[in-house]
Amino acid sequence: MKHLSIKVAFLLGAAAAVSCGNMKQIKHQPYPEAVRGEVVDNYFGTEVSDPYRWLEDDNSEATGAWVAAENAVTQDYLSQIPFRGAIRERLTELWNYAKESAPRKHGDWWYYTYNDGLQNQPVIYRTKTPGEAGEVFLDPNKLSDDGTVALAAMSFSKDGRWFAYSAATSGSDWVEIRVMDTADKSLTSDRIEWVKFSGAQWAADSKGFYYSAYDAPKQNTYSSKNEFQKVYYHTLGTPQAADKLVYEDREHPLRYFSAWTSEDGKWLFVIASEGTSGTEILYKKVSEPKFRVLLPGFEADYSPVDCKDDQLYFVTNRDASNYALMKIDLNRPGQPETVIPESDRNLLEGVGTAGGSLFAYYLQDAQSRIYQYDYTGKQVREVALPAIGSVGGFDGREEDTELYYTLANYTAPATIYKYDIASGESTLYKAPEVNFDPELFTTEQVFYTSKDGTRVPMFITRRKDMKRDGKNPCLLYAYGGFQINLTPGFNPSALMFVEQGGIYCVANLRGGSEYGEEWHRGGMLENKQNVFDDFIAAAEYLVAENYTSTDKLAIHGGSNGGLLVGACEVQRPDLYAVCLPAVGVMDMLRYHKFTIGWGWAVEYGSSEDEEQFGYIYKYSPLHNIKEGVKYPATMVITADHDDRVVPAHSFKFAATMQHAQAGDAPILIRIESKAGHGAGKPTSKRIDEATDMYAFLFQNIGVPYRELKK
């Protein structure tokens, strides 16, 4: 089966660019009237007003009317940008390439996902032999009329007979688990509801699976606080009401619990956490009635890798900031033994298993390195990767002799390679056909100094013919939190920006774990301001080194990255021309009161703690907006079904910014319908959002989008 696309080379320069003419000055309509209430909260003697508290009720008529009016202002403004259509056209071209995942074997079939270019959701195919024409196994695009139902998780039973998938509607974190019979691709009667942050963990005998669920919300489905997650076992062919309660903790309502099983079916584990970092592992034989604590929490992280010969192999940062692989005897648990020791320099991101080998994923300055080991911890080889970038796929079955992995970077989408486990040889399996010339672009890694002297890395992707004259449009992106590492990856919209002569920069701030748990802890709790300092220093570096200037610099981030952009905007409004905070945590004093926001307290701290309130209040974006300040052009981005970071954060931030703005730059909010926090968003909505974001960016740095000669 061949999927063809036309590769088009573009030449950009004075002779190749068609200017859209002089920049048209656009005026936004008056902002909708937002009544300022008189709500005041007292935090340990500090009175904090919350005039837009009413916007937290996303079901009220008043909030609905405000949302509709704000969207009308935003869409009116965007519709006046003359090159908005040209941006959409080019983004559609760049997105329109075949995207395929590495194949994985389950039963007698090899399964993979495939998107022919602009399909809203990737389709699951299967084939008897990799490389040969596949057949459609499941097409998620048929689960809804508009592509807004997506697969959040999927898993196969050990015998390959059953396939479970978790379906999310409109981007919500709530999913429904359904099961298919792989023999005839029929859907079974099994239906599991009110599941969040869980898929199906199959039992070794393939007769059922474990999952984690909450009680059905009694009030608002998308904003009510979620408590008392429980682990259940579901037997195939029975109703959910008959599922067996496997584990619950009535004393700790704000903990997550997930099940994990050994391949031989002998052992069952429950991984507990009180938030986004720090875990505890409980265990028992499946035949035993009660769980016991194996690895106590919650000061360190423990991630199971394999259970072999009654030995649990796990990755941990306990006494190992850069992580190590350990094992513990389940029959006589004592002090864990080291299998792969902590590296002095590189972060051990995780460990996969396949063909009797362990594959260690390392990060060296935020770039992937893969090492193959045996189960004694003896290194077999470093895997010779074909290029620099981010790698995935070194995982499989015990009996596998080969596996398939992907490699991607900022200027190339995921390319698939076949790996021979015995010889260590990689061969090209499939490379995507793209609608641009990769030879025009390059990525460099630089290191800059933050406020406290910390050395921070940043990737800079640009055209090879770029001149460092301080006149280039620049987009700075970062995240900085929750141990999340930003590694090289392909983004069609960022490539469009670079194609236009822009510079796309990704900074690896503290708060991630690019350099281990110490790097993470340097950007959490009382150290959170370090993250903002790192980001501000990145912006200052780009200006000082003549990559760009303050009137051509835009900043962007989502979720915790939205908090980052919001905090940096109110701290240094003079430093940027455009700010693009997406689905951000803007109200740091009340975030824990919605859905699963309480789980972030281990990262941020809580306003209910006097000491923690003190440092949170100092940077909370919503509470540090000042009247009479000239803020940069801002487009806040959120969605109506975001039940991770509820849209009230963005609503209140936008309303407050509009009230406080002393300058002429627009403060707009774009509120997507039938969308959530971002995962599973259909291609059509991704292109729509990117079109509006980049149209707003180009318009407000005074640089028109230029159509390119082909």
What pLDDT, in 10s, does the model give residues 257-286? Answer: 999 999 999 999 999 998 888 999 999 999
Q: In one letter, which amino acid is 254? A: L
User: What is the per-residue pLDDT across 639-651, written as a single tens digit (0 to 9) for each?
Assistant: 876 566 788 999 9
The HSE-up count of residue 3 (CA atoms within 13 Å, CB side) is: 19
- Over residues 310-326, the mean pLDDT reads 97
- pLDDT over 70 at 8, yes or no: no
| Distance (Å, whole) CA 148 – CA 590 | 29
User: How far is CA 478 from its chain centroid?
Assistant: 12
C-alpha pair distances (Å), 289 with each of 243, 244, 246, 284: 16, 13, 9, 8
Torsion of CA 623, 628, 633, 637, to 10 degrees: 30
Look at residue 545 and tell me whether its pLDDT is greater than 80. yes
What rounded mean pLDDT belongs to the chain?
A: 92
Q: Look at residue 95 in the predicted model and tell me its pLDDT.
A: 95
Phi, then psi, of 653 in degrees rounded to 5: -65, -45
Q: Given the DSSP bridges, would you call strands 553-558 and 503-507 parallel, antiparallel or unpaired?
A: unpaired
Predicted pLDDT at 11: 25
* Whole-structure pTM value: 0.90
pLDDT at 476: 98
Half-sphere exposure of 597 (CA within 13 A, CB side): 28
Structure tokens, 408: 């991607």
What token pair was written down for 159?
A: 């015998």
Residue 74 backbone phi and psi in degrees, to 5: -65, -45
Confidence of residue 164 (pLDDT cuts 50, 70, 90): very high
The whole-number pLDDT of residue 22 equals 59
Is 677 tagged catalytic? yes
Instruction: Provide the 10 A C-beta neighbour count for residue 5.
Output: 15
Answer positive or negative: Cα dihedral of 26, 32, 36, 42: negative
Q: What is the pLDDT of residue 677?
A: 56
What does R_g of the chain's alpha carbons equal in angstroms?
A: 25
Residues near 322 by beta carbon (within 8 Å), at least 6 away in sequence: 342, 343, 344, 345, 346, 347, 348, 515, 516, 517
Q: Are the C-beta atoms of residues 202 and 155 closer than 8 Å to each other?
A: yes
- In one-letter notation, the amino acid at residue 109 is W
Mean pLDDT across 571-589: 97
User: CB atoms < 10 A from the CB of 575, how many?
Assistant: 18
| pLDDT of 676 over the 90 cut | no
User: Which of 690, 556, 685 is closest to 88 using CA atoms?
Assistant: 690
Q: pLDDT of 103-126, one tens digit each?
A: 999 999 999 999 999 998 999 999
Given 343, 559, 607, 620, the catalytic residue: 559
H/E stretch holding 507 reads strand 503-507
Region 294-317: mean pLDDT is 95
Asked if 609 contacts 592 with a C-beta cutoff of 8 angstroms, the reply is no
> From edge to edge, which strands make up the β-sheet containing 390-392?
390-392, 402-409, 412-420, 426-430
Q: Name the pLDDT band for 19 (thresholds 50, 70, 90).
A: very low
Dihedral sign (CA 582, 512, 472, 20): negative
129-151: pLDDT as tens digits: 999 999 999 999 998 888 778 88
Q: Which residues pair with 561 in a beta bridge?
A: none
Amino acid at 100: E
What pLDDT sits at residue 144? Answer: 85
Q: Which pLDDT tens digit goes with each residue over 370-408?
A: 999 999 999 999 999 999 999 999 999 999 999 999 999
pLDDT computed for residue 674 by the predictor = 62
Question: Residue 222: what pLDDT?
Answer: 64
559 is catalytic: yes
User: Closest Cα partner for 65 from 28, 35, 27?
Assistant: 35
* 178, amino acid identity: R
Q: Which of 520, 556, 649, 677 is catalytic?
A: 677
Output the pLDDT for position 599.
85
- Closest to 458 measured CA to CA, from 482, 481, 477, 441: 477
Q: Nearest 5°: phi and psi at 90?
A: -70, -40
Q: Is the dihedral of CA 154, 157, 160, 163 positive or negative?
A: negative
Q: What are phi and psi of 596, to 5 degrees?
A: -110, 25
The secondary structure of 622-685 as a DSSP string is GGG--TT--PPEEEEEEETT--SS-THHHHHHHHHHHHH--SSS-EEEEEESS--SSTT--HHH
Tell me what percent of the residues of the chain surpass a pLDDT of 70.
95
Q: C-alpha angle 334/521/619, rounded to 5°? A: 150
